[in-house]
């Protein structure tokens, strides 16, 4: 089978590009021909993952800017309009340069707007949309006017998608049942498929504890923004230190959006909590190899990300499963959909989002109860090894996305 993969934001060092490169490698191992198209492809983003892949950078003469460079509302709107124009120009050019004989075209996230152009040029192609989350999902903004405009923009985008783009998509790949229901409501057949991880890269035997532990490194991983709620991890560690634990925090938080204001705020909170000597920020991110080492040297992974109402939660996140593969315990927000794979008290310990005290309590349970820790680590690692490998992901994708 000849497969195209299209993504409009492949230059980031985040979970999305890792998913694309890893799934592409798995599809190649199954004997399929795979080609990737993106306007911002950079082979140096994840050289270990993209090695040997056929990836084409489709430039329109200017890069897609995902970062806002101004705090002025009017200028931000202008930046948003410019970004949308660049994205649509990229989609049009990708449609022109793509081969016309693909059996499957797998569009990721915002690249769903390519669907009608694919069907027009190649009606027999099966269009599969990997939907990590609804692309026009509302995200709360601090500025009330900006917030209102965002709601209106997302409403308009949703209406346009319903008529112009979604009818041309045959299947949608999602991680959670909520998104599967959303797809059904929009006439798209869902493929509920957990993403894989590179288990061989991150795997390490579970370090079985035989006695309570008084020192711990709390780990958070993910592109830096205020919804990650890294300040809650730091506050939890501060509480543990007051109870006599040598608690430290390591945050692999690449600042891909240049979130200067949020960065200043978290550094201020860290200082106020007296945690400056005990928190390490890796705002430059980490390579796959470095990340594997970091997982193995940490004691607890804390998945604290939370988007407030109306979203009221968070969808998945590959890093926590990589941590599970590395054999360290997971403390997880009870509004994170990843509990579908790692249930509370079975594969993770849960806390109420935005409650650092509960994070501290659950970390302490892991530190003081070796039997609990060991059992939950072994369960989580087993789930990842058996059900979250890329070869399984690729086989199921091909098996379920049958031509119509």
> What does residue 118 show for φ and ψ, rounded to 5 degrees?
-65, -50
| Contact status, residue 165 vs residue 136, Cβ threshold 8 Å | no
Contact (Cβ atoms closer than 8 angstroms) between residue 109 and residue 6:
no
Report, as an integer, the average pLDDT of 108-113.
92
Question: Does the pLDDT of residue 317 top 80, yes or no?
Answer: yes
**What is the distance between the alpha carbons of residues 354 and 288, in angstroms, rounded to a whole number?**
29
Mean pLDDT of 354-373: 97
95-101-103-105 Cα dihedral, nearest 10 degrees:
-10
Residue 318 has pLDDT above 80, yes or no: yes
Residues 261/70, Cβ–Cβ less than 8 Å: no
The lowest-confidence range among 125-129, 134-138, 194-198, 377-381 is 134-138
pLDDT band at 363; cut points 50, 70, 90 = very high
Give the span between the Cα atoms of 150 and 144, in whole angstroms: 10
Q: Can you name the residues that pair with 301 across neighbouring β-strands?
A: 219, 330
Q: Would you say residue 141 has pLDDT above 80?
A: no
At residue 97, the pLDDT reads 95
**pLDDT score for 137:** 66
Please name which of 84, 92, 82 lies closest in space to residue 37, comparing C-alpha atoms: 92
18 pLDDT more than 90:
no
Model confidence at 104: pLDDT above 90: yes
Given a contact cutoff of 8 angstroms between Cβ atoms, the answer to whether 349 and 366 are in contact is yes
Average pLDDT over residues 214-224: 96
Average pLDDT over residues 38-63: 89
| Residue 311 pLDDT greater than 80, yes or no | no
Q: 110 preceded by cis ω (within 30°)?
A: no
How does the average pLDDT of the chain come out, rounded?
A: 91
Q: Which residue has the higher pLDDT, 232 or 313?
A: 232
- pLDDT-based confidence at residue 56 (cuts at 50, 70, 90): very high
Percent of the chain with pLDDT over 90: 67
Say if pTM beats, i.e. exceeds, 0.95. Answer: no
The arithmetic mean of pLDDT across residues 211-227, rounded, is 96
Q: pLDDT for 235-292, tens place per residue?
A: 999 999 999 999 999 999 999 888 899 999 999 999 999 999 999 999 999 988 999 9
CA dihedral 143, 149, 154, 160 (to 10 degrees): -170
Q: Classify residue 22 as exposed, middle or buried by CB count within 10 Å of its CB (0-12, 13-18, 19+).
A: buried
pLDDT tens-place string over residues 334-353: 999 899 899 999 999 999 99
Has residue 303 got a pLDDT over 90? Answer: yes
**What is the mean pLDDT of the segment spanning 115-129?**
95
Angstrom distances, CA of residue 142 to CA of 76, 169, 290, 353: 13, 34, 35, 19
Across 44-55, average pLDDT: 90
To the nearest whole percent, how much of the chain has pLDDT over 70?
97
**pLDDT of 140 strictly over 80:** no
Choose among 135, 153, 47, 152: nearest CA to 91. 135
Cα 368 to Cα 16: distance, rounded to the nearest angstrom: 36
Alpha-carbon dihedral sign for residues 4, 7, 13, 16: negative
For the chain, domains (ranges, CATH) are: 2-196+389-400 (3.40.50.2000), 199-387 (3.40.50.2000)
Residue 136 in this model has a pLDDT that exceeds 70: no
């Amino acid at each position: 089978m000849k497969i195209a993969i299209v993504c409009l934001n492949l230059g980031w060092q985040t979970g999305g590009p890792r998913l694309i490169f890893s799934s592409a490698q798995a599809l190649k191992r199954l004997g399929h021909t795979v080609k990737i198209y993106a306007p911002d492809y950079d082979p140096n983003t994840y050289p270990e993952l993209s090695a040997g892949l056929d990836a084409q950078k489709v430039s329109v003469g200017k890069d897609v800017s995902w970062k806002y460079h101004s705090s002025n509302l009017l200028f931000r709107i202008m930046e948003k309009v410019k970004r949308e124009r660049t994205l649509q120009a990229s989609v049009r050019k990708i449609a022109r340069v793509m081969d016309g004989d693909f059996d499957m075209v797998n569009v990721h996230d915002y690249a769903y707007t390519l669907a009608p152009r694919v069907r027009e040029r190649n009606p027999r192609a099966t269009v599969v949309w990997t939907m990590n989350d609804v692309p026009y999902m509302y995200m709360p903004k601090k500025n009330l006017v900006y917030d209102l405009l965002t709601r209106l923009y997302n409403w308009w985008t949703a209406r346009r998608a319903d008529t112009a783009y979604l009818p041309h998509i045959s299947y949608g790949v999602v991680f959670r049942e909520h998104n599967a229901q959303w797809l059904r409501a929009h006439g798209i057949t869902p493929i509920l498929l957990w993403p894989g991880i590179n288990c061989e890269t991150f795997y390490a035997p579970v370090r079985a504890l035989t006695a309570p532990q008084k020192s711990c490194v709390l780990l958070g991983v993910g592109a830096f923004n205020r919804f990650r709620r890294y300040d809650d991890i730091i506050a939890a560690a501060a509480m543990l230190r007051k109870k006599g634990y040598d608690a430290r925090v390591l945050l692999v938080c690449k600042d891909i959006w240049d979130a200067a204001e949020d960065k200043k705020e978290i550094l201020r909170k860290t200082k106020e909590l007296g945690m400056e000597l005990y928190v390490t920020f890796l705002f430059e991110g980490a390579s796959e190899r470095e990340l594997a080492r970091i997982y193995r040297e940490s004691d607890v992974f804390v998945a604290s990300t939370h988007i407030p109402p109306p979203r009221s939660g968070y969808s998945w996140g590959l890093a926590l499963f990589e941590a599970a593969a590395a054999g360290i315990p997971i403390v997880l927000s009870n509004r994170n959909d990843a509990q579908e794979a790692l249930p509370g008290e079975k594969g993770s310990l849960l806390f109420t989002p935005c409650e650092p005290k509960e994070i501290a309590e659950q970390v302490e349970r892991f530190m003081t109860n070796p039997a609990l820790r060991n059992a939950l680590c072994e369960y989580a690692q087993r789930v990842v090894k058996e059900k979250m490998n890329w070869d399984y992901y690729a086989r199921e994708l091909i098996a379920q996305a049958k031509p119509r």
